[in-house]
Every structure is written in structure tokens, then in C-alpha cells.
Amino acid sequence: MGSHSMDSNFFDVTVSSKTLLTPGMLRITFCGDDLRNFRTTGMADEYLRLFFEDEATGELVLPIIDGEGRWSYHEDRPPVRCSTYTVRRFDRRRCELDVDFVVHPGGVASEWAQRAQAGHRMVVNNPRGLYTPTEGLPWQLILADATGIPAAARLIEQKPGDLACRVVIEVATPDQIQPLPERDNVVVTWLTDSGNGHWKSRLGDVFPLIPLPPGPGHIWAAGEQEAIRTIRKHVKNTLKLKPERHKLVAYWIDDERLRPRRPPLDTTVLAALSTPWKPAGLQS
Ligand SMILES: Cc1cc2nc3c(=O)[nH]c(=O)nc-3n(C[C@H](O)[C@H](O)[C@H](O)COP(=O)(O)OP(=O)(O)OC[C@H]3O[C@@H](n4cnc5c(N)ncnc54)[C@H](O)[C@@H]3O)c2cc1C
């Protein structure tokens, strides 16, 4: 992997440590002098991309990023494989970056993180944030599954002291509950045995049950695409919130749900299956 320090869009980083936060989430601390030029947005939900070498060729072909941040790809090469992750912590002085990975099977990034060891290299790009609520709002509701925990933790960490924060997070198993930053005016509820590719998400179902304080507030949600879709429907059709009052982002797609439903069995096959049978020679 060559150095990308001449290109201010990409940063060569090295794994400096790895910590298992819970059985379902691990933290990788990246370091590297390149990070001196990392342009953090300061936004709590800022995310970056991790870029992976082509599995067949072992080559890393980075996209071309223009002055406006638009991406394009080299015509004769397959587009690079990349995954999106939240910047959980950035320390410019120490040139350090923390990324928290959900542990799940079948993911290029998640499995890379599970195998990663100190000294392993990675390339990341500059982060981008989405969270821009109107200042001075009295309340905020945060809904997330495990993928949204790093951003939710930063939202709590960076919140103004008097902002009342209601947080609902769903995790696959009770041992995946993790401590969140302690701040005044934060009430957290964990939903266990829920969502995260193990079960259907409950975020969309519980959302309408949560009473919202009077007056304007902000709703931030991150999770599986279908859950976010359900939340968005309620926000738009029932609560009728203006766009600046919410940020609802699909962080991943559960492939299981996308598998096509099998057509119902043909009646003749059903009849054949249900026909009684017995081994030859057995007298009835
Ligand atoms: C703005 C943004 C910020 C994000 N921040 C984080 C973060 O900080 N930490 C984090 O872990 N994720 C985060 N995500 C989600 C992450 O990008 C996806 O989970 C991504 O699919 C992981 O890439 P992968 O290469 O491991 O898996 P992929 O190759 O994309 O997927 C492979 C398989 O894994 C399944 N899968 C993907 N994610 C999950 C999951 N979480 N649980 C169970 N099965 C899964 C897919 O359905 C698919 O079958 C963020 C996403 C966005 C858009």
C-alpha cells in the first residue's frame, strides 16, 4: 500500500490497538502522521470510509474525489470496495482515530476488524457529518441499533447540558449493552434481543409509544433500512415534522429481508406431501 499523504482526501493509518467493548462490538484505534491533515467536521455523527483492496488482484484502487467532494472511478478498474463507519473519537495531537465495529458475520469491514492486529494498515478518507439540528432546541430523541451506538455516544457527549435527551438503543443480546457517556438530562432505554440481523428491528414499533415533550425538538435515528423507513413514515405522516427537526439514516440493509419470498407450494405437491405412507410389507 503506497502512501496517500500527498492526496489530502485519503489517509494511511495503522492499527495501534484493539479493544473488545462488548461481545458484539470492538474498537480499533488507528494512528498515523497522515491524520494531522484529517479534516474533522466536529459533527457528532461524522463518518468516514474504510477502503479495501480488490480481493482478486490485491490492488487498492481509490476513487477520484474532486474539489466538491464528488466521487468518480477509474474507467478500466472495478470500483473500490469501501465501508462506512462513524468517527467515534479523533485526537489530532496524538494523530489517533477510534472506530467501533459491530461484530457480524459476512461483512468485509467487520471481518477485517475481527482479524485486525496492531500494525495492520488501512486507508480512510475525510469524514462527513449529517447532524445539523437547529440550535437551542429543548429536547432530542435518539433511536439506534448497534451500528448507531458510536454516533449516539458522540451525540450525548457533545450535547448542550440543558438539552433533554431520550435515548433508545436496541442490541442483539443483553451482554451487548455498553456504558454511554454520562451527561445530565439523558434517559436511556436498552432493548435487548432485538434487531441487528438476529431479529426484526423493534425501533419502528416502539417509536410511536415514546411520548414526546411539547414544543420543537429533534429526532435522530440510525439503524436497519426497514426500521428507518417505518420511523420516517411516522415522522412525516403522523408527527408531520419539518426536515430540520429530524435526521433519519439507514445505516445498513439486512439481506435476509431482501431474499425473495418463495411462491406458495403447488396444491398437488402439498397433497403428495400429506399423503400417508408406510414401509412395504407392513400390514395395515
Ligand atoms: C453514516 C454511517 C455510519 C455508520 N457507522 C457505523 C459504525 O460506527 N459502526 C458500525 O459497526 N457500523 C456503522 N455503520 C454501518 C455499516 O456501514 C454497515 O453495517 C456495513 O454494512 C458494514 O460493512 P461490512 O463490510 O462489514 O458488511 P457488508 O459487506 O456491507 O455486509 C455483509 C453482510 O453483513 C450484513 N450486515 C451488515 N451490517 C450488519 C450489522 N450491523 N449487523 C448484522 N449484519 C450486518 C449485511 O446484511 C450483509 O449480509 C454506519 C453506516 C452509515 C451509513
pLDDT in the model for residue 1: 47
State the distance from the centre of ligand 1 to the C-alpha of 104, rounded, in angstroms.
Answer: 8
Distance 70 CA to ligand 1 centre (A): 22
Contact predicate 64/73, CB 8 Å: yes
Decide the pairing of beta strands 10-22 and 121-125.
antiparallel
Mutate to test the pocket of ligand 1, among 110, 173, 194 (most ligand atoms within 8 A of CB): 110
Strand order in the sheet with 81-86: 81-86, 47-52, 121-125, 10-22, 25-31, 96-102, 89-91
Cα(138)–Cα(140) distance, integer angstroms: 7
pTM for the full predicted model: 0.90
Indicate the CATH number of 10-125 among 3.30.750.24, 3.30.1600.10, 2.40.30.10, 3.30.420.40.
2.40.30.10
Q: Give the closest residue (by CA) to ligand 1 atom 7.
A: 85
**Cβ–Cβ under 8 Å, residues 56 and 29:** no
Nearest Cα neighbor of 251 from 219, 221, 223 is: 223
pLDDT band at 65 (very low <50, low <70, confident <90, very high): confident
pLDDT at 260: 61
Does residue 68 or residue 181 have the better pLDDT? 181
Range of weakest confidence among 3-12, 38-47, 70-79, 128-137: 3-12
Cell 419470498 appears where? 261
Residue 246 has pLDDT above 90, yes or no: yes
Task: Please choose, from the candidates 227, 246, 226, the residue with its C-alpha nearest in 3D space to the C-alpha of residue 236.
Answer: 246
223-to-20, 21, 45, 278 alpha-carbon distances in Å: 21, 19, 13, 51
CATH of domain 139-257: 3.40.50.80
Residue 215 banded pLDDT, cuts 50, 70, 90: confident
Domain range summary for the chain, segments of one domain joined by +: 10-125, 139-257
